[in-house]
Structure 1
Amino acid sequence: MPTTEESRAEAELASAEGWPGVRDGETMRFTDLPGMTLAVRRRAAAVDRLEPALFVHGLGGSSRNWSALMEQLAFDVECEAIDLPGFGASPPPTSGDYSVYGHTRAVIRLLDAGRRGPVHLLGNSLGGSIATRVAALRPDLVRTLTLIAPALPERLPRPGAIPTGMLGVPGVTRLLRRATRGQPPSQRAREVLRLCYGDPARITPQEFSAAEAELERRQRLPYFWESLGRTTRGLLNAYTLGGQHSLWRQAERVLAPTLLLYGGRDRLLGVGSARRASRAFGCSRLVVLPEAGHVAMMEFPAEVAGAFREFLTGATANAGHGGVADGRS
């Protein structure tokens, strides 16, 4: 396990060299917080005095997953996306805590340190479960909540999700590291994208190239497999929690207006989860994009941006009337 100083130096070197996928108009910065250093991707706002938004990526992803959507929303919100500890350009946490609560703590500390709250909080997959916990535990930090295919417990997991879940089994990542040692990053990047996209034909050459470069870069990091395996285990453990700590009970505690976005061709998450989520979140609007997969913000950024703007307009209007109406659809 590298020291904090070594991990920080590695991450800063990556930033100095140009972390794969950093687009024009984006910058990367590092924030030192108790027990962790976080990389944050920022998209320059197109106009002044926009409300802040924070984006939280999914399992195995990074802040780069939000680049297309942040570009679409440059006139709507001030966009920042976090690299969770051990992912993207963020070194691992000194505590070694990769649980959902550990990642939730990282998001809360970042918001507290930057004094940016309340923010429009957006999360995808694992990032959706983290964002749910943030909104439930610290409602003062969340203006609105947008969840894209959030990782919430399902009674019957989709077949496509089983191989991902296996990463949380002790020893599996060690076997995978050996088995994939000679596998080119291009092959693994293509497999991941094909699993996450509803229509693999929509994977652009630019997206594939960026995903391949980032994977190649991350596989050289000494903590790559550990962060992936332990975060998967942390998510599976969160699925088993009952009572007040269950993710569904946390969803019921969320006070912020919530937009739920699901893909009709999601191989990792069933539509039944969307219906349950629309009932669990007290003030929510459900939007299903029929052709989208698990990462709608990458596959259909314009459509997701349009749904977010419409949701934002409704939430603002309702807040102006002294309350928030149920906007389910």
Structure 2
Amino acid sequence: MKRALLEADESIARDEMPPPWPGRAVRIDGSVTYVRDTPATRPGAEPALYVHGLGGSAQNWTDLAGLLADRLDGQSIDLPGFGRSDPGRRYTIPALADRVIRYIEHSGRGPVHLFGNSLGGAVSVRVAGLRPDLVRTLTLISPAMPFLDPRRSLQGRMVPLLAVPGAERFASRWLTQLPPEEMARQVMEACVADTRRICDQRRQEAIDEIRIRYTAEHYASAYLRTLRGLVGSFVRAYLPGAGSLWRIAGLITAPTLVIGGTQDRLVDVRVPAQVARLIPDSRLLVLDGVGHVPQMEVPRTVARAAAALLAETAPVLAEPAPLPAAGPVPAAAPVPVAGGPVPAAG
């Protein structure tokens, strides 16, 4: 594990407030996966895929994908049952990882720079560990990797429902009892340490997303069954067998960046460091005073860390063989390099 670097701030594109990137339905194996494209702004950009967390959607990546568009040709997907994607038949971590793998294969864009937040981080760990041929680099943001007591999370109040027959009915009532504006406020306060960092446009987009969820009959079931699958992965992580996410993390060969916030209320704050220690080629960035979704709360800092990883792992082009010298040549003065990576702060 190494300390993460931050690319120079001036090397990152100017902050803008793009609307949600254009979306389209992609049919894979008879089911729709909704995809948002963040077109590259420069030629030669490499493919990237962004995977959201529990209860989120592809829109969670709008700002970060925009800031990296000069380096990456980004696509973000709605996982089955979330956003505008069709519901899935199963909502376990292996099933969700299989959907990500199938999308990468279907798109023909692999290997990709893979980004995952929260649940999407756990899914991305499985993808990178089991299909290294599909992943060029891996960035895990507040990954929901197993920790012993999920009740410490704010989502822990939903855990008792997992053992109740017909729990989807109760979950549906709980998830739709509040006006969209109030639900968006509560979700934002749970995920973000300083809500002043979220602009009005992003707040309104969150409200619009919740309105879509309220009209999707499958959403409550997808949410609860995905939570059940996530908690199930926690249990399996401490049992013998090859299915443990911790064991799979140790198989990852891709250069990896792990990011966590000290004010994360949904994933144990000790998890990012544990993940980084286990992945052989890893870098760790811990952000003081930041919550569960750093890519939304401090997207520019996350973009600088991701850009440093890309710069560090970029293929080195072979230098052409020198031409025979006709005679003595005076030594050239050294040229200063600007915009290189600098150590990450705290």
Task: Say yes or no: does 1:211 pair with 2:206.
Answer: yes
How many Å apart are 1:136 and its aligned residue? 1.0
Task: Say yes or no: does 1:147 pair with 2:140.
Answer: yes
Match of 1:191 among 181, 186, 190: 186
Task: Say yes or no: does 1:175 pair with 2:173.
Answer: no
1:99 corresponds to: 92
Task: Say yes or no: does 1:36 pair with 2:31.
Answer: yes
How many Å apart are 1:33 and its aligned residue? 1.1
Match of 2:286 among 285, 288, 291: 288
SS in 1 for 2:259: strand
Amino acid at match of 2:37: R
Q: Distance in 1 between matches of 2:124 and 2:254?
A: 11
Deviation string 1:234-279 (CA, Å, 9 cap, x unpaired) is: 1111111132110100100111010000011111222321221121
2:84 corresponds to: 89
How many Å apart are 1:27 and its aligned residue? 1.5
Q: 1:125-274 maps to which residues of 2 (within 5 A)?
A: 125-157=118-150, 158-166=152-160, 168-170=162-164, 171-179=166-174, 181-241=176-236, 242=239, 243-274=241-272
Determine if contact 2:172/2:221 at 8 Å carries over to the other structure.
no
Determine if contact 2:256/2:279 at 8 Å carries over to the other structure.
yes
Task: Say yes or no: does 1:71 pair with 2:69.
Answer: no
Determine if contact 2:121/2:142 at 8 Å carries over to the other structure.
yes
RMSD: 2.2
Task: Say yes or no: does 1:314 pair with 2:309.
Answer: no
* TM-score, normalised by the number of residues in structure 2: 0.82
Determine if contact 1:189/1:208 at 8 Å carries over to the other structure.
yes
Identity of aligned residues (%): 40
Determine if contact 1:167/1:232 at 8 Å carries over to the other structure.
no
Match of 2:276 among 275, 278, 284: 278
SS in 1 for 2:250: helix
Amino acid at match of 1:277: V
Q: Which has the higher helix share?
A: 1
How many Å apart are 1:34 and its aligned residue? 1.3
Determine if contact 1:167/1:233 at 8 Å carries over to the other structure.
no
Determine if contact 2:91/2:226 at 8 Å carries over to the other structure.
yes
How many Å apart are 1:289 and its aligned residue? 1.0
SS in 2 for 1:81: strand
Question: Mind listing any 5+ residue stretches in structure 1 that lack a counterpart?
Answer: 1-21, 321-326
Larger RCO (CA under 8 A, 6+ residues apart):
2
Task: Say yes or no: does 1:122 pair with 2:115.
Answer: yes
The 3 A distance-change label for structure 1 pair 194 and 43 is same
Q: Distance in 1 between matches of 2:232 and 2:147?
A: 13
How many Å apart are 1:159 and its aligned residue? 4.3
Structure of higher CA gyration radius: 2
SS in 2 for 1:304: helix
Determine if contact 1:25/1:44 at 8 Å carries over to the other structure.
no
How many Å apart are 1:32 and its aligned residue? 1.1
Q: Distance in 2 between matches of 1:156 and 1:180?
A: 23
SS in 2 for 1:39: strand
Question: Mind listing any 5+ residue stretches in structure 2 that lack a counterpart?
Answer: 1-16, 319-342
* TM-score, normalised by the number of residues in structure 1: 0.86
The 3 A distance-change label for structure 1 pair 167 and 59 is farther
Structure 1 stretches of 4+ moved >4 Å: 22-25, 179-182, 317-320
